[in-house]
Amino acid sequence: MESRSRHFKANAAASLANPVLQANLKTAKGKFVDKRAISIKEIDDFEGSREAAKNIRNRVLENLDLWLEKFEENATARGATVLWAKDGEEICRHVAEIGLRHGVKKAAKSKSMLSEEAGLNLALTAAGIRPIETDLGEYILQINDNEPPSHIIAPVVHKSLDEIADLFHQVHKTPRKTEIPALTREAREVLREHFLTADMGISGGNFLVAETGSVALVTNEGNGRMVTTLPHVHVVITGIEKVVPTLEDLSLLMRLLPRSATGQSISNYVSVLTGVKTPAELDGPEHLYFILVDNGRADVVGSEFQDMLRCIRCGACMNHCPVYQTIGGHAYGWVYPGPMGSVLTPLYTGLENAIDLPQAATLCNQCGVVCPVMIPLPELLRKLREKQVEKHLRPWFERIALKTWAWVAGNPPLYALGSWLGVRYLKWLAGGRDRIPVLGVAPGWTLGRDFPAPEGKTFRELYAKKKGR
C-alpha cells in the first residue's frame, strides 16, 4: 500500500472537518475501552501477565534468527513450505507463483495487515486470481472500491450503519436493509459461496509457535477457520517477529490479546494449525505455505526501536489514544494507525515519509499504560523526534527557532532579558485579566483554550528578591 503519511496534517484537517466521520468516531468512542477495563479484572495478576508477555516476546527477539530457524525446521517437518519475502513486492510474487502452481482462480482471505502492506489484492487481480476479503469489515471495504481500513481490528469503525446499508443495496442489488443482523446475514450468504468455491485460503498469523511449527489464528467470525479448512491451498503471510517459543507462551498471550483488543475473555475461535492434512482426513489443505516477511522489520532488530517488535496488534493503543479518537485511522496515511502506527510507519516506510507522525501524539502515555506487552510508545515516539532533528528532517523555521532558542538559553544575561521582556509583554496583553484569549504570536495555540497570563515577575526576579531578604 502506498503511504500517504507525508500528508498527515492535511489528512487530519480533512478528518476534523468531516461531520459524518466525526459522528461515527463519536459512536465508536469508548466501547472497546470500557469492555477492556471490565475483562482485565478477570485476570488475577494482570500486571504480572503483562510482564510475562513482554519477557516472552523479548526472549524471541533477542535471538530472532535462531528462533526463526527453529520454527522453520518444525514447520517443514510437518509438510509446510517456508518462504521468505524482503518486501511487499516479493510477497505478491510468492502468492502469485503459488497460485499458478496449484491452478488457483479464487483466493478467500482472512484478515492480514501484511497483505495491506503489500497491496496484495491488486497484485492477485493482475495475476488472474480473484481475491475475496471475508472478514465482514474488510469485505465492506473491498466492495467500496478497495477503501483502506481505518483500524487494525475494526476496519470499518469509521463507517455508519447507514453508509453500509447503502453500499450493500448498491453492490448486492438487494432491497436496502437497515438492521445490523440482516446486513450480516446478507454478507454471510454472499461470502459462504466464496468459501466453498475458493481454491486458496490466505490468512495472516497472530503467532508462530516455534515448538510445533504452527500458526495461531484468532477470529470471531469464523472466516479464519473457513479459509484454512475448505480450500486445498493455505498461505500464511506473517512478519518475522511473530514467533513465540511454546504453546504455554501462546496460552499466556491469549489471555491478553482478546482482552486488550475487544475486551473479550477469549476470541470465539483460536485455531492452532500445524502442517497439511493427512490422506485419511476429510478436510484441511493439502498444501501449506508460510511467507515470512521482513518489509522493514529486520532493520529494527537490535536497534533502539526493537521494543516495537513485541507488538501483538491488539489495537489497545489506538482505542485509548486521544489523537486517534479525534481524527480516525485514515489520517495516518498507511496500514497502521494510532500510536503503534506512528512508530511503525516511519520505521518501515522511512522517517522522511512520515515526518509528522511522531508529532501526532500528546505523549500522555495512555497507550504505554494499556499496551499488553509494555511497549514504551511515548519513549519511542520521542526517540523518533530526536532522529528527525539529527537527520535535519524538520522544517527550516522549526530548526532556526530551536537553534535560536538554544543560543538564548545558553546565554544567561540574554535569557534573563528575554524572559523579563516576555512576562511584561504577556501581562500587558492580558490587560488585567488572568488569561489571554488570543495569543498574537501563536494564534493556533489559543484556538481551543486560553493562555494563562503571568503574574508579572520572572522566576529569576522572584528568586533574587527572596535571596536578598
Interaction residues for another protein, span 38-77 (CB under 8 A): 42-45, 48-49, 52-53, 56, 59, 62-70
Nearer to another protein, 70 or 172 (CB): 70
Q: Is 223 in the site for another protein (CB under 8 A)?
A: yes
Cell of 446: 489559543
Residue 247: CB minimum distance to another protein, A: 4
Cell of 278: 493427512
Cell of 374: 509494555
Residue 456: CB minimum distance to another protein, A: 51
Binding pattern for the stretch 101-140 against another protein, x by CB under 8 A and - elsewhere = ---------------------------------xxxx--x
Cell of 351: 522517517
Q: Is 171 in the site for another protein (CB under 8 A)?
A: no
Nearer to another protein, 219 or 458 (CB): 219
Residue 231: CB minimum distance to another protein, A: 12
Within positions 242 to 271, which residues make up the interface with another protein, using CB under 8 A? 245-252, 254-255, 262, 265-271
Nearer to another protein, 241 or 356 (CB): 241
List of residues 6+ apart from 468 with CB closer than 8 A:
none
Q: Is 426 in the site for another protein (CB under 8 A)?
A: no
Long-range contacts from 33-42, C-beta under 8 angstroms, 24+ separation: 33/319, 33/320, 34/263, 35/262, 35/263, 35/264, 36/259, 36/260, 36/262, 36/263, 36/316, 36/319, 36/370, 37/263, 38/263, 39/258, 39/259, 39/263, 39/264, 39/265, 40/259, 40/260, 42/259, 42/265
Within positions 18 to 37, which residues make up the interface with another protein, using CB under 8 A? 27-28, 31-32
Residue 299: CB minimum distance to another protein, A: 7
Within positions 228 to 247, which residues make up the interface with another protein, using CB under 8 A? 228-230, 240, 245-247
Within positions 375 to 404, which residues make up the interface with another protein, using CB under 8 A? none
Q: Which residues of 123-154 are buried (b: 16+ CB within 10 A; e: fewer)?
A: bbeebebebbbbbbbbbbbbbeeebbbbbbbb
Q: How far apart are CA 16 and CA 326, in angstroms?
A: 7
Q: Return the SS3 of 175.
A: coil
Within positions 430 to 459, which residues make up the interface with another protein, using CB under 8 A? none
Q: How far apart are CA 439 and CA 441, in angstroms?
A: 6
Which residue stretch of 296-304, 338-346, 390-398, 459-467 sits at the interface with another protein (rule: CB under 8 A)? 296-304
Nearer to another protein, 69 or 398 (CB): 69
Q: Is 178 in the site for another protein (CB under 8 A)?
A: no
Residue 362: CB minimum distance to another protein, A: 24
Strand partners, 82: 290
